[in-house]
Chains A and B, each alone.
Chain A
Amino acid sequence: MDQGKFVERVLFLLALSSISSLVVITVFIFLEGLPLIFQTGFKDFILSSHWAPTKGHFGIGAMIVSSLLVTIGAMVLGVPLGLACAIVLAEFSSARLRSFLKPTLELLAGIPSVVYGFLGVIWLVPLIRNYLGGPGLSLLAAAVILGIMILPTIVSISIDALTAVPDIYRDGSIALGATEWQTVRRVVLPAASSGIITAIILGMGRAVGETMAVIMVAGNAIKLPTSILDPVRTLTSNIALELGYAAGRHREALFATGIVLFVIIMILNLSATLITRRR
Protein backbone atom coordinates (compact mmCIF):
# COMPACT_ATOMS: atom_id res chain seq x y z
CA MET A 1 0.00 0.00 0.00
CA ASP A 2 1.50 3.35 -0.97
CA GLN A 3 1.72 6.15 1.51
CA GLY A 4 -1.03 8.27 0.01
CA LYS A 5 -3.51 5.48 0.20
CA PHE A 6 -2.52 4.72 3.77
CA VAL A 7 -3.07 8.30 4.88
CA GLU A 8 -6.40 8.26 3.05
CA ARG A 9 -7.54 5.23 4.97
CA VAL A 10 -6.42 6.58 8.34
CA LEU A 11 -8.24 9.83 7.72
CA PHE A 12 -11.30 7.95 6.61
CA LEU A 13 -11.30 5.84 9.75
CA LEU A 14 -11.01 8.96 11.87
CA ALA A 15 -13.87 10.58 10.00
CA LEU A 16 -15.83 7.38 10.43
CA SER A 17 -15.42 7.42 14.19
CA SER A 18 -17.49 10.59 14.50
CA ILE A 19 -20.34 9.14 12.50
CA SER A 20 -19.91 5.82 14.23
CA SER A 21 -20.71 7.39 17.59
CA LEU A 22 -24.05 8.45 16.15
CA VAL A 23 -24.65 4.97 14.77
CA VAL A 24 -23.62 3.25 17.99
CA ILE A 25 -25.82 5.52 20.09
CA THR A 26 -28.79 4.97 17.80
CA VAL A 27 -28.37 1.21 17.67
CA PHE A 28 -27.88 1.05 21.42
CA ILE A 29 -30.96 3.11 22.27
CA PHE A 30 -33.14 1.07 19.93
CA LEU A 31 -31.77 -2.28 21.09
CA GLU A 32 -32.38 -1.37 24.71
CA GLY A 33 -35.77 0.25 24.29
CA LEU A 34 -37.61 -1.54 21.51
CA PRO A 35 -38.25 -4.85 23.34
CA LEU A 36 -40.21 -3.02 26.02
CA ILE A 37 -42.27 -1.09 23.48
CA PHE A 38 -43.21 -4.36 21.81
CA GLN A 39 -44.06 -6.03 25.12
CA THR A 40 -46.17 -3.13 26.36
CA GLY A 41 -47.69 -2.53 22.96
CA PHE A 42 -46.87 0.61 21.03
CA LYS A 43 -50.34 2.08 21.54
CA ASP A 44 -50.36 1.52 25.30
CA PHE A 45 -46.88 2.90 25.63
CA ILE A 46 -47.65 6.09 23.72
CA LEU A 47 -51.24 6.71 24.81
CA SER A 48 -51.50 5.51 28.40
CA SER A 49 -50.59 7.97 31.13
CA HIS A 50 -50.10 5.39 33.84
CA TRP A 51 -46.38 5.48 34.62
CA ALA A 52 -45.38 3.25 37.55
CA PRO A 53 -42.38 1.40 36.13
CA THR A 54 -41.55 -0.51 39.32
CA LYS A 55 -45.11 -1.87 39.29
CA GLY A 56 -45.14 -2.72 35.60
CA HIS A 57 -47.06 0.24 34.16
CA PHE A 58 -45.29 1.96 31.31
CA GLY A 59 -47.36 4.74 29.78
CA ILE A 60 -45.70 7.95 28.66
CA GLY A 61 -48.75 9.65 27.13
CA ALA A 62 -48.83 12.45 29.69
CA MET A 63 -45.13 13.09 29.21
CA ILE A 64 -45.40 13.34 25.43
CA VAL A 65 -48.23 15.83 25.82
CA SER A 66 -46.28 17.74 28.48
CA SER A 67 -43.17 17.86 26.31
CA LEU A 68 -45.19 19.29 23.46
CA LEU A 69 -47.01 21.78 25.69
CA VAL A 70 -43.78 23.01 27.26
CA THR A 71 -42.25 23.39 23.80
CA ILE A 72 -45.28 25.24 22.44
CA GLY A 73 -45.21 27.52 25.48
CA ALA A 74 -41.54 28.24 24.92
CA MET A 75 -42.27 29.00 21.26
CA VAL A 76 -45.13 31.37 22.13
CA LEU A 77 -42.73 33.36 24.30
CA GLY A 78 -39.48 32.90 22.43
CA VAL A 79 -40.46 33.26 18.76
CA PRO A 80 -42.04 36.75 18.81
CA LEU A 81 -39.30 38.03 21.10
CA GLY A 82 -36.50 36.46 19.09
CA LEU A 83 -37.93 37.45 15.74
CA ALA A 84 -38.54 41.05 16.84
CA CYS A 85 -35.01 41.14 18.16
CA ALA A 86 -33.60 39.80 14.89
CA ILE A 87 -35.60 42.25 12.76
CA VAL A 88 -34.45 45.24 14.81
CA LEU A 89 -30.84 44.12 14.78
CA ALA A 90 -30.76 43.22 11.09
CA GLU A 91 -32.89 45.99 9.62
CA PHE A 92 -33.22 48.96 11.94
CA SER A 93 -29.96 49.26 13.82
CA SER A 94 -26.55 50.57 12.91
CA ALA A 95 -23.77 48.12 12.14
CA ARG A 96 -21.97 49.21 15.29
CA LEU A 97 -24.91 48.50 17.55
CA ARG A 98 -25.41 45.14 15.86
CA SER A 99 -21.77 44.16 16.23
CA PHE A 100 -22.16 44.77 19.95
CA LEU A 101 -25.67 43.38 20.59
CA LYS A 102 -25.51 40.18 18.54
CA PRO A 103 -22.53 38.65 20.37
CA THR A 104 -24.12 39.72 23.65
CA LEU A 105 -27.28 37.83 22.80
CA GLU A 106 -25.26 34.83 21.71
CA LEU A 107 -23.64 34.82 25.14
CA LEU A 108 -27.02 33.65 26.43
CA ALA A 109 -26.33 30.36 24.68
CA GLY A 110 -23.13 29.97 26.67
CA ILE A 111 -24.84 30.04 30.06
CA PRO A 112 -25.10 26.47 31.39
CA SER A 113 -28.67 25.25 31.60
CA VAL A 114 -28.35 24.44 35.29
CA VAL A 115 -27.88 28.17 35.88
CA TYR A 116 -31.12 28.92 34.06
CA GLY A 117 -32.80 26.26 36.18
CA PHE A 118 -31.38 27.68 39.37
CA LEU A 119 -32.52 31.20 38.48
CA GLY A 120 -35.93 29.73 37.72
CA VAL A 121 -36.17 27.98 41.06
CA ILE A 122 -35.12 30.90 43.24
CA TRP A 123 -36.68 33.73 41.28
CA LEU A 124 -39.41 32.68 38.84
CA VAL A 125 -41.00 29.82 40.79
CA PRO A 126 -41.72 31.85 43.96
CA LEU A 127 -43.12 34.67 41.78
CA ILE A 128 -45.55 32.28 40.12
CA ARG A 129 -46.45 30.64 43.44
CA ASN A 130 -47.13 33.96 45.17
CA TYR A 131 -48.90 35.84 42.40
CA LEU A 132 -50.60 33.20 40.28
CA GLY A 133 -51.03 30.30 42.71
CA GLY A 134 -50.28 26.61 42.47
CA PRO A 135 -47.00 25.08 43.56
CA GLY A 136 -44.96 27.40 41.35
CA LEU A 137 -43.04 24.54 39.78
CA SER A 138 -45.11 24.40 36.66
CA LEU A 139 -45.64 24.22 32.93
CA LEU A 140 -45.54 28.02 32.87
CA ALA A 141 -42.18 28.22 34.67
CA ALA A 142 -40.63 25.69 32.29
CA ALA A 143 -42.02 27.50 29.24
CA VAL A 144 -40.68 30.87 30.38
CA ILE A 145 -37.22 29.53 31.13
CA LEU A 146 -37.08 27.63 27.83
CA GLY A 147 -38.42 30.67 25.97
CA ILE A 148 -35.38 32.60 27.18
CA MET A 149 -33.01 29.72 26.50
CA ILE A 150 -33.98 29.40 22.84
CA LEU A 151 -33.60 33.13 22.13
CA PRO A 152 -29.95 32.99 20.99
CA THR A 153 -30.69 30.18 18.53
CA ILE A 154 -33.65 31.98 17.02
CA VAL A 155 -32.08 35.45 16.99
CA SER A 156 -28.72 34.58 15.48
CA ILE A 157 -30.00 32.27 12.73
CA SER A 158 -32.79 34.73 11.88
CA ILE A 159 -30.31 37.61 11.63
CA ASP A 160 -28.19 35.57 9.24
CA ALA A 161 -31.25 34.81 7.15
CA LEU A 162 -32.33 38.46 7.08
CA THR A 163 -28.90 39.83 6.19
CA ALA A 164 -28.62 37.25 3.40
CA VAL A 165 -31.52 38.98 1.59
CA PRO A 166 -29.88 41.06 -1.19
CA ASP A 167 -30.10 44.83 -0.76
CA ILE A 168 -31.53 45.13 -4.27
CA TYR A 169 -34.84 43.80 -2.88
CA ARG A 170 -34.97 46.52 -0.26
CA ASP A 171 -33.92 49.24 -2.69
CA GLY A 172 -36.50 48.14 -5.21
CA SER A 173 -39.25 48.13 -2.64
CA ILE A 174 -38.33 51.56 -1.27
CA ALA A 175 -38.12 52.90 -4.83
CA LEU A 176 -41.67 51.75 -5.42
CA GLY A 177 -42.75 53.97 -2.54
CA ALA A 178 -43.08 51.40 0.26
CA THR A 179 -42.16 52.50 3.77
CA GLU A 180 -39.33 50.77 5.61
CA TRP A 181 -41.76 48.69 7.67
CA GLN A 182 -43.72 47.68 4.60
CA THR A 183 -40.46 46.67 2.98
CA VAL A 184 -39.51 44.50 5.93
CA ARG A 185 -42.93 42.93 6.26
CA ARG A 186 -43.77 42.36 2.59
CA VAL A 187 -40.36 41.86 1.01
CA VAL A 188 -37.55 40.99 3.39
CA LEU A 189 -39.42 38.64 5.73
CA PRO A 190 -40.93 36.51 2.93
CA ALA A 191 -37.55 36.35 1.22
CA ALA A 192 -35.92 35.19 4.44
CA SER A 193 -38.77 32.92 5.50
CA SER A 194 -37.05 29.58 4.99
CA GLY A 195 -34.12 30.69 7.14
CA ILE A 196 -36.44 31.99 9.82
CA ILE A 197 -38.45 28.77 9.86
CA THR A 198 -35.21 26.83 10.22
CA ALA A 199 -34.32 29.06 13.15
CA ILE A 200 -37.66 28.34 14.79
CA ILE A 201 -37.37 24.59 14.26
CA LEU A 202 -33.86 24.47 15.65
CA GLY A 203 -35.13 26.47 18.61
CA MET A 204 -37.88 23.88 19.04
CA GLY A 205 -35.30 21.12 18.96
CA ARG A 206 -33.41 22.84 21.72
CA ALA A 207 -36.60 23.25 23.77
CA VAL A 208 -37.66 19.62 23.35
CA GLY A 209 -34.22 18.34 24.27
CA GLU A 210 -33.48 20.59 27.23
CA THR A 211 -33.34 18.61 30.46
CA MET A 212 -31.62 20.11 33.47
CA ALA A 213 -33.42 23.43 33.62
CA VAL A 214 -36.76 21.71 33.02
CA ILE A 215 -36.26 19.16 35.80
CA MET A 216 -35.54 21.99 38.18
CA VAL A 217 -38.58 24.15 37.42
CA ALA A 218 -41.28 21.90 35.95
CA GLY A 219 -42.22 19.95 39.09
CA ASN A 220 -42.10 16.56 37.30
CA ALA A 221 -45.57 15.30 38.24
CA ILE A 222 -46.76 12.48 35.98
CA LYS A 223 -50.34 13.72 35.64
CA LEU A 224 -51.72 15.33 32.49
CA PRO A 225 -51.72 19.07 33.22
CA THR A 226 -55.09 20.82 33.35
CA SER A 227 -53.73 24.36 33.65
CA ILE A 228 -50.45 26.14 32.93
CA LEU A 229 -49.87 26.30 36.69
CA ASP A 230 -49.79 22.49 37.00
CA PRO A 231 -46.51 20.65 37.40
CA VAL A 232 -45.50 18.58 34.36
CA ARG A 233 -42.89 16.00 33.45
CA THR A 234 -41.26 16.06 30.02
CA LEU A 235 -39.71 13.08 28.21
CA THR A 236 -36.18 14.27 28.89
CA SER A 237 -36.86 14.89 32.58
CA ASN A 238 -38.30 11.42 32.91
CA ILE A 239 -35.11 9.82 31.65
CA ALA A 240 -32.77 11.99 33.67
CA LEU A 241 -34.81 11.74 36.88
CA GLU A 242 -35.03 7.99 37.01
CA LEU A 243 -32.03 6.64 35.13
CA GLY A 244 -29.81 6.72 38.20
CA TYR A 245 -31.85 4.06 39.97
CA ALA A 246 -33.47 2.20 37.16
CA ALA A 247 -32.77 -1.47 36.60
CA GLY A 248 -34.24 -4.16 34.35
CA ARG A 249 -37.56 -3.29 32.72
CA HIS A 250 -37.59 0.15 34.28
CA ARG A 251 -34.31 0.91 32.52
CA GLU A 252 -35.65 -0.41 29.24
CA ALA A 253 -38.68 1.82 29.64
CA LEU A 254 -36.41 4.83 29.96
CA PHE A 255 -34.56 3.85 26.80
CA ALA A 256 -37.94 3.47 25.13
CA THR A 257 -38.73 7.02 26.26
CA GLY A 258 -35.45 7.93 24.59
CA ILE A 259 -36.61 6.36 21.33
CA VAL A 260 -39.73 8.52 21.29
CA LEU A 261 -37.63 11.60 22.01
CA PHE A 262 -35.12 10.57 19.37
CA VAL A 263 -37.84 10.24 16.74
CA ILE A 264 -39.36 13.62 17.64
CA ILE A 265 -36.00 15.38 17.39
CA MET A 266 -35.10 13.55 14.18
CA ILE A 267 -38.35 14.75 12.62
CA LEU A 268 -37.62 18.33 13.71
CA ASN A 269 -34.07 18.30 12.39
CA LEU A 270 -35.04 16.62 9.16
CA SER A 271 -37.75 19.17 8.49
CA ALA A 272 -35.27 21.96 9.21
CA THR A 273 -32.87 20.46 6.69
CA LEU A 274 -35.60 20.01 4.07
CA ILE A 275 -36.87 23.56 4.48
CA THR A 276 -33.37 24.99 4.16
CA ARG A 277 -32.74 22.92 1.06
CA ARG A 278 -35.96 24.08 -0.59
CA ARG A 279 -34.44 27.54 -0.85
Chain B
Amino acid sequence: MSCFPENINAAQERRKRPGPASGLGGRFWQNRKSLKAVSLFFALLLALGTAGCRGKADTASHAICVAGSTSVQPFAEKLAEVYMEQHPGVRIDVQGGGSSAGIFAAQQGAADLGASSRELVKAEKALHEIPIAWDGIAVIVHPSNPLTDLSLEQLRLIFQGKITDWQAVGAPAHPIDLISREEGSGTREAFETLVMGKTEVSPGALVQDSNGAVREIVAGDQNSLGYISAGLVDERVKAVAIDGILPTRENIKTQKYKLVRRFLLVGRETPAGQCLAFVDFILSPQGQRLLEAEGLVGVR
Protein backbone atom coordinates (compact mmCIF):
# COMPACT_ATOMS: atom_id res chain seq x y z
CA MET B 1 0.00 0.00 0.00
CA SER B 2 2.88 2.32 0.68
CA CYS B 3 3.71 2.29 -3.01
CA PHE B 4 0.35 3.75 -3.94
CA PRO B 5 1.31 7.46 -3.80
CA GLU B 6 4.42 6.79 -5.88
CA ASN B 7 2.33 5.23 -8.58
CA ILE B 8 0.13 8.28 -8.80
CA ASN B 9 3.22 10.44 -9.00
CA ALA B 10 4.70 8.35 -11.77
CA ALA B 11 1.48 8.56 -13.73
CA GLN B 12 1.42 12.32 -13.32
CA GLU B 13 4.98 12.64 -14.49
CA ARG B 14 4.26 10.54 -17.54
CA ARG B 15 1.29 12.69 -18.40
CA LYS B 16 3.43 15.81 -18.27
CA ARG B 17 5.86 14.50 -20.86
CA PRO B 18 4.59 15.30 -24.36
CA GLY B 19 4.96 13.53 -27.69
CA PRO B 20 5.11 9.94 -28.81
CA ALA B 21 7.58 9.11 -26.08
CA SER B 22 4.87 9.42 -23.39
CA GLY B 23 4.30 6.16 -21.54
CA LEU B 24 1.45 3.76 -21.74
CA GLY B 25 -0.41 5.30 -18.85
CA GLY B 26 -0.75 8.76 -20.34
CA ARG B 27 -2.12 7.68 -23.66
CA PHE B 28 -4.33 5.09 -22.15
CA TRP B 29 -6.06 7.41 -19.74
CA GLN B 30 -6.73 9.96 -22.48
CA ASN B 31 -8.50 7.37 -24.58
CA ARG B 32 -12.24 7.39 -23.84
CA LYS B 33 -12.82 3.88 -25.14
CA SER B 34 -10.10 2.45 -22.97
CA LEU B 35 -11.57 4.22 -19.98
CA LYS B 36 -14.85 2.50 -20.69
CA ALA B 37 -13.07 -0.82 -20.88
CA VAL B 38 -11.46 -0.16 -17.53
CA SER B 39 -14.73 0.67 -15.81
CA LEU B 40 -16.29 -2.42 -17.33
CA PHE B 41 -13.46 -4.45 -15.90
CA PHE B 42 -14.16 -3.11 -12.40
CA ALA B 43 -17.86 -3.71 -12.76
CA LEU B 44 -17.18 -7.30 -13.72
CA LEU B 45 -14.96 -7.78 -10.69
CA LEU B 46 -17.69 -6.44 -8.40
CA ALA B 47 -20.33 -8.60 -10.04
CA LEU B 48 -18.28 -11.74 -9.43
CA GLY B 49 -18.98 -11.48 -5.72
CA THR B 50 -22.58 -12.70 -5.74
CA ALA B 51 -23.67 -16.32 -5.90
CA GLY B 52 -26.28 -17.98 -3.70
CA CYS B 53 -27.94 -21.15 -2.60
CA ARG B 54 -30.55 -21.09 -5.33
CA GLY B 55 -28.12 -20.31 -8.10
CA LYS B 56 -26.26 -23.51 -7.39
CA ALA B 57 -29.48 -25.50 -7.11
CA ASP B 58 -30.35 -24.76 -10.72
CA THR B 59 -27.18 -26.30 -12.06
CA ALA B 60 -27.39 -29.62 -10.20
CA SER B 61 -30.64 -31.52 -10.55
CA HIS B 62 -30.76 -33.07 -7.05
CA ALA B 63 -29.37 -30.32 -4.82
CA ILE B 64 -30.92 -29.95 -1.38
CA CYS B 65 -30.27 -26.65 0.35
CA VAL B 66 -29.94 -26.61 4.14
CA ALA B 67 -29.36 -23.18 5.67
CA GLY B 68 -29.42 -21.75 9.16
CA SER B 69 -28.01 -22.16 12.66
CA THR B 70 -24.26 -22.12 12.90
CA SER B 71 -24.52 -24.56 15.82
CA VAL B 72 -26.28 -27.10 13.62
CA GLN B 73 -24.05 -26.43 10.63
CA PRO B 74 -21.09 -28.69 11.53
CA PHE B 75 -23.46 -31.58 12.30
CA ALA B 76 -25.50 -31.00 9.15
CA GLU B 77 -22.29 -30.94 7.14
CA LYS B 78 -21.20 -34.24 8.65
CA LEU B 79 -24.60 -35.81 7.90
CA ALA B 80 -24.62 -34.42 4.38
CA GLU B 81 -21.13 -35.73 3.75
CA VAL B 82 -22.05 -39.29 4.75
CA TYR B 83 -25.38 -39.13 2.93
CA MET B 84 -23.80 -37.89 -0.30
CA GLU B 85 -21.26 -40.69 -0.08
CA GLN B 86 -24.07 -43.22 0.06
CA HIS B 87 -26.20 -41.52 -2.60
CA PRO B 88 -23.98 -40.38 -5.44
CA GLY B 89 -25.79 -37.88 -7.63
CA VAL B 90 -27.48 -36.10 -4.72
CA ARG B 91 -25.98 -32.77 -3.74
CA ILE B 92 -26.61 -31.17 -0.35
CA ASP B 93 -25.51 -27.58 0.22
CA VAL B 94 -25.15 -26.69 3.88
CA GLN B 95 -24.97 -23.00 4.77
CA GLY B 96 -24.76 -21.00 8.00
CA GLY B 97 -26.30 -17.62 8.66
CA GLY B 98 -27.97 -18.19 12.01
CA SER B 99 -31.22 -19.75 13.18
CA SER B 100 -33.40 -16.79 12.29
CA ALA B 101 -31.91 -16.53 8.84
CA GLY B 102 -32.47 -20.25 8.32
CA ILE B 103 -36.10 -20.09 9.43
CA PHE B 104 -36.67 -17.09 7.19
CA ALA B 105 -35.05 -18.88 4.25
CA ALA B 106 -37.34 -21.86 4.83
CA GLN B 107 -40.42 -19.61 4.99
CA GLN B 108 -39.43 -17.93 1.76
CA GLY B 109 -38.61 -21.21 0.11
CA ALA B 110 -35.04 -20.05 -0.46
CA ALA B 111 -33.85 -23.12 1.42
CA ASP B 112 -35.44 -26.57 1.36
CA LEU B 113 -34.67 -27.02 5.02
CA GLY B 114 -33.93 -24.36 7.60
CA ALA B 115 -31.75 -25.34 10.55
CA SER B 116 -32.57 -23.84 13.92
CA SER B 117 -31.01 -24.17 17.34
CA ARG B 118 -33.89 -22.27 18.96
CA GLU B 119 -37.59 -23.03 19.31
CA LEU B 120 -39.98 -21.55 16.77
CA VAL B 121 -41.93 -18.52 17.94
CA LYS B 122 -45.69 -18.21 17.40
CA ALA B 123 -45.45 -16.47 14.05
CA GLU B 124 -43.25 -19.24 12.73
CA LYS B 125 -45.42 -22.12 13.91
CA ALA B 126 -46.86 -22.58 10.41
CA LEU B 127 -43.58 -24.22 9.46
CA HIS B 128 -43.17 -27.95 9.60
CA GLU B 129 -40.60 -28.73 12.31
CA ILE B 130 -38.49 -31.86 12.69
CA PRO B 131 -36.46 -32.17 15.90
CA ILE B 132 -33.20 -33.95 15.11
CA ALA B 133 -31.20 -33.80 18.35
CA TRP B 134 -30.77 -32.40 21.84
CA ASP B 135 -27.76 -30.37 22.84
CA GLY B 136 -26.89 -29.55 26.43
CA ILE B 137 -24.70 -26.64 27.43
CA ALA B 138 -22.31 -27.64 30.18
CA VAL B 139 -20.83 -25.12 32.59
CA ILE B 140 -17.24 -26.14 33.13
CA VAL B 141 -14.44 -25.44 35.64
CA HIS B 142 -10.92 -26.72 36.21
CA PRO B 143 -10.91 -30.25 37.74
CA SER B 144 -9.07 -28.96 40.83
CA ASN B 145 -11.93 -26.56 41.58
CA PRO B 146 -13.93 -27.92 44.55
CA LEU B 147 -17.14 -26.38 43.21
CA THR B 148 -19.75 -28.99 42.25
CA ASP B 149 -23.01 -27.11 42.08
CA LEU B 150 -24.25 -23.69 40.98
CA SER B 151 -27.77 -22.33 40.93
CA LEU B 152 -29.04 -20.82 37.71
CA GLU B 153 -29.27 -17.51 39.58
CA GLN B 154 -25.63 -17.68 40.71
CA LEU B 155 -24.56 -18.53 37.17
CA ARG B 156 -26.42 -15.52 35.82
CA LEU B 157 -24.93 -13.19 38.44
CA ILE B 158 -21.43 -14.46 37.66
CA PHE B 159 -21.83 -13.91 33.93
CA GLN B 160 -23.37 -10.49 34.52
CA GLY B 161 -20.18 -9.60 36.33
CA LYS B 162 -22.00 -9.08 39.66
CA ILE B 163 -20.22 -11.98 41.34
CA THR B 164 -16.52 -11.75 40.58
CA ASP B 165 -14.94 -13.92 43.25
CA TRP B 166 -15.13 -17.66 43.76
CA GLN B 167 -15.66 -17.11 47.50
CA ALA B 168 -19.21 -15.90 46.86
CA VAL B 169 -20.19 -19.34 45.54
CA GLY B 170 -18.34 -21.39 48.13
CA ALA B 171 -14.98 -22.00 46.49
CA PRO B 172 -11.57 -20.73 47.70
CA ALA B 173 -11.25 -16.96 47.31
CA HIS B 174 -9.81 -15.86 43.96
CA PRO B 175 -11.11 -13.70 41.13
CA ILE B 176 -13.12 -15.66 38.57
CA ASP B 177 -11.72 -15.78 35.04
CA LEU B 178 -14.90 -15.70 33.02
CA ILE B 179 -14.87 -17.22 29.54
CA SER B 180 -17.60 -16.63 27.00
CA ARG B 181 -18.08 -17.11 23.27
CA GLU B 182 -18.07 -14.52 20.53
CA GLU B 183 -21.16 -12.53 19.62
CA GLY B 184 -23.16 -14.39 16.97
CA SER B 185 -22.11 -17.88 18.09
CA GLY B 186 -25.05 -20.29 18.43
CA THR B 187 -23.77 -21.59 21.75
CA ARG B 188 -23.59 -18.06 23.12
CA GLU B 189 -27.04 -17.29 21.76
CA ALA B 190 -28.46 -20.34 23.53
CA PHE B 191 -26.58 -19.54 26.74
CA GLU B 192 -27.96 -16.02 26.68
CA THR B 193 -31.54 -17.23 26.17
CA LEU B 194 -31.33 -20.01 28.75
CA VAL B 195 -29.28 -18.26 31.44
CA MET B 196 -28.97 -14.53 30.91
CA GLY B 197 -32.55 -13.70 29.94
CA LYS B 198 -32.67 -10.03 29.05
CA THR B 199 -29.34 -9.19 30.67
CA GLU B 200 -25.97 -9.04 28.95
CA VAL B 201 -22.79 -11.04 29.44
CA SER B 202 -20.18 -8.94 31.24
CA PRO B 203 -17.84 -7.12 28.84
CA GLY B 204 -14.96 -8.21 31.07
CA ALA B 205 -15.43 -11.84 30.08
CA LEU B 206 -12.73 -13.40 27.95
CA VAL B 207 -13.98 -14.39 24.53
CA GLN B 208 -12.86 -17.49 22.64
CA ASP B 209 -14.07 -18.43 19.19
CA SER B 210 -14.80 -22.13 19.59
CA ASN B 211 -15.94 -24.74 22.10
CA GLY B 212 -12.49 -26.29 21.86
CA ALA B 213 -10.71 -23.05 22.69
CA VAL B 214 -12.93 -22.47 25.75
CA ARG B 215 -12.22 -26.01 26.94
CA GLU B 216 -8.48 -25.50 26.38
CA ILE B 217 -8.41 -22.35 28.52
CA VAL B 218 -10.50 -23.87 31.31
CA ALA B 219 -8.27 -26.96 31.33
CA GLY B 220 -5.25 -24.73 31.89
CA ASP B 221 -6.62 -22.11 34.26
CA GLN B 222 -7.64 -23.15 37.79
CA ASN B 223 -9.80 -20.09 38.30
CA SER B 224 -11.78 -20.09 35.10
CA LEU B 225 -15.44 -20.71 34.37
CA GLY B 226 -16.80 -21.30 30.90
CA TYR B 227 -19.57 -23.01 28.98
CA ILE B 228 -19.39 -25.46 26.07
CA SER B 229 -21.53 -27.99 24.27
CA ALA B 230 -22.12 -30.87 26.71
CA GLY B 231 -20.89 -33.46 24.21
CA LEU B 232 -17.43 -31.93 24.24
CA VAL B 233 -16.76 -32.17 27.99
CA ASP B 234 -13.75 -34.43 28.61
CA GLU B 235 -11.64 -35.46 31.60
CA ARG B 236 -9.52 -32.29 31.52
CA VAL B 237 -12.44 -30.13 32.64
CA LYS B 238 -15.23 -30.60 35.15
CA ALA B 239 -18.90 -29.96 34.41
CA VAL B 240 -20.75 -28.50 37.39
CA ALA B 241 -24.35 -29.34 38.26
CA ILE B 242 -26.88 -26.59 37.67
CA ASP B 243 -29.56 -26.49 40.38
CA GLY B 244 -28.23 -29.89 41.47
CA ILE B 245 -28.54 -31.62 38.11
CA LEU B 246 -25.53 -32.75 36.08
CA PRO B 247 -25.55 -32.51 32.25
CA THR B 248 -25.61 -36.25 31.67
CA ARG B 249 -27.01 -37.80 28.52
CA GLU B 250 -30.09 -38.99 30.43
CA ASN B 251 -30.74 -35.63 32.10
CA ILE B 252 -30.43 -33.83 28.77
CA LYS B 253 -32.80 -36.22 27.00
CA THR B 254 -35.44 -35.93 29.72
CA GLN B 255 -34.78 -32.17 29.99
CA LYS B 256 -34.26 -32.40 33.73
CA TYR B 257 -31.06 -30.46 33.07
CA LYS B 258 -32.03 -26.83 32.44
CA LEU B 259 -29.52 -25.69 29.85
CA VAL B 260 -30.80 -27.74 26.95
CA ARG B 261 -31.80 -26.75 23.45
CA ARG B 262 -33.29 -28.66 20.56
CA PHE B 263 -31.84 -28.72 17.10
CA LEU B 264 -34.63 -28.43 14.55
CA LEU B 265 -34.95 -28.69 10.82
CA VAL B 266 -37.86 -26.67 9.48
CA GLY B 267 -39.53 -26.64 6.08
CA ARG B 268 -42.38 -24.76 4.42
CA GLU B 269 -44.26 -28.02 3.91
CA THR B 270 -43.82 -31.64 4.87
CA PRO B 271 -40.59 -32.75 3.27
CA ALA B 272 -40.97 -34.89 0.15
CA GLY B 273 -38.76 -36.63 -2.36
CA GLN B 274 -35.02 -36.15 -1.93
CA CYS B 275 -35.60 -33.93 1.07
CA LEU B 276 -37.68 -36.58 2.85
CA ALA B 277 -35.04 -39.20 2.14
CA PHE B 278 -32.38 -36.99 3.77
CA VAL B 279 -34.58 -36.26 6.80
CA ASP B 280 -35.34 -39.98 7.14
CA PHE B 281 -31.61 -40.63 7.02
CA ILE B 282 -30.98 -38.15 9.84
CA LEU B 283 -33.66 -39.79 11.99
CA SER B 284 -32.53 -43.32 11.12
CA PRO B 285 -30.41 -45.22 13.66
CA GLN B 286 -27.36 -44.53 11.52
CA GLY B 287 -27.96 -40.79 11.32
CA GLN B 288 -28.71 -40.54 15.03
CA ARG B 289 -25.58 -42.57 15.80
CA LEU B 290 -23.57 -40.07 13.75
CA LEU B 291 -25.01 -37.19 15.79
CA GLU B 292 -24.31 -38.98 19.07
CA ALA B 293 -20.75 -39.66 17.95
CA GLU B 294 -20.36 -35.91 17.42
CA GLY B 295 -21.47 -35.21 20.98
CA LEU B 296 -25.21 -34.57 20.69
CA VAL B 297 -28.06 -36.52 22.25
CA GLY B 298 -30.36 -38.19 19.73
CA VAL B 299 -34.14 -37.75 19.69
CA ARG B 300 -34.88 -41.36 18.84
Contacts and interface: CB of A to CB of B under 8 A. Distances in A.
B200 A250 contact: no
Nearest to A225: B204
Contacts of B224: 135
B41 A233 contact: no
A245 B2 CA distance: 32
B244 interface: no
Interface residues of A, number: 53
Contacts of B202: 223
Nearest to A24: B45
Nearest to B29: A12
Contacts of B221: 129, 135-136
Interface stretch (A52-60, A78-86, A106-114): A52-60
Interface string B207-250: 11100000011001101100000000000000000000000000
A67 interface: no
Interface string A244-276: 111100100000000000000110011011000
Contact of A52 (B25, B97, B200): B200
B61 interface: no
A146 interface: no
Interface in A231-245: 231, 233, 241-242, 244-245
Contact of A273 (B5, B49, B189, B220): B5
Nearest to B71: A245
Contacts of A9: 28, 34
Interface stretch (A35-43, A89-97, A166-174, A214-222): A214-222
A221 B96 contact: no
B70 A244 contact: yes
Interface in B140-186: 177, 182-186
Contacts of B186: 245
Given A52-B183, A54-B183, A246-B184, A241 B42 contact: no
A20 interface: yes
B208 A220 contact: yes
B30 interface: no
Nearest to A54: B183
Contacts of B223: 135
Contact of B70 (A137, A223, A245): A245
B53 interface: no
A157 to B, nearest CB: 12
A16 interface: yes
Given A12-B28, A135-B177, A242-B182, A222 B207 contact: yes
B38 A16 contact: yes
B24 interface: yes
Given A242-B182, A245-B98, A273-B6, A222 B41 contact: no
B41 A16 contact: yes
Nearest to B224: A135
Contacts of A202: 2
A2 interface: no
Nearest to B202: A223
Contacts of A134: 177
Contacts of B6: 273
Contact of A250 (B24, B46, B183, B220): B183
Given A53-B183, A55-B200, A221-B207, A22 B34 contact: no
Nearest to B5: A273
Given A54-B189, A135-B221, 18 more contacts: A13-B37, A20-B41, A24-B46, A28-B49, A50-B203, A53-B183, A54-B184, A121-B216, A135-B223, A137-B206, A215-B209, A221-B205, A221-B207, A223-B203, A242-B183, A244-B70, A247-B184, A273-B5
Q: What 7 A-B pairs have minimum CB-CB distances, sorted nearest first?
A: A245-B184, A220-B207, A135-B177, A222-B203, A269-B2, A223-B203, A219-B206
Interface of A: 8-9, 11-13, 16-17, 19-20, 22-24, 27-28, 49-55, 62, 121, 125-126, 129, 134-137, 202, 215, 219-223, 230-231, 233, 241-242, 244-247, 250, 265-266, 269-270, 272-273
22 contacts: A17-B41, A24-B42, A28-B46, A54-B183, A55-B200, A135-B217, A136-B221, A215-B209, A221-B204, A222-B207, A223-B203, A242-B183, A245-B70, A245-B96, A245-B184, A245-B186, A247-B101, A269-B2, A270-B5, A272-B2, A273-B5, A273-B6
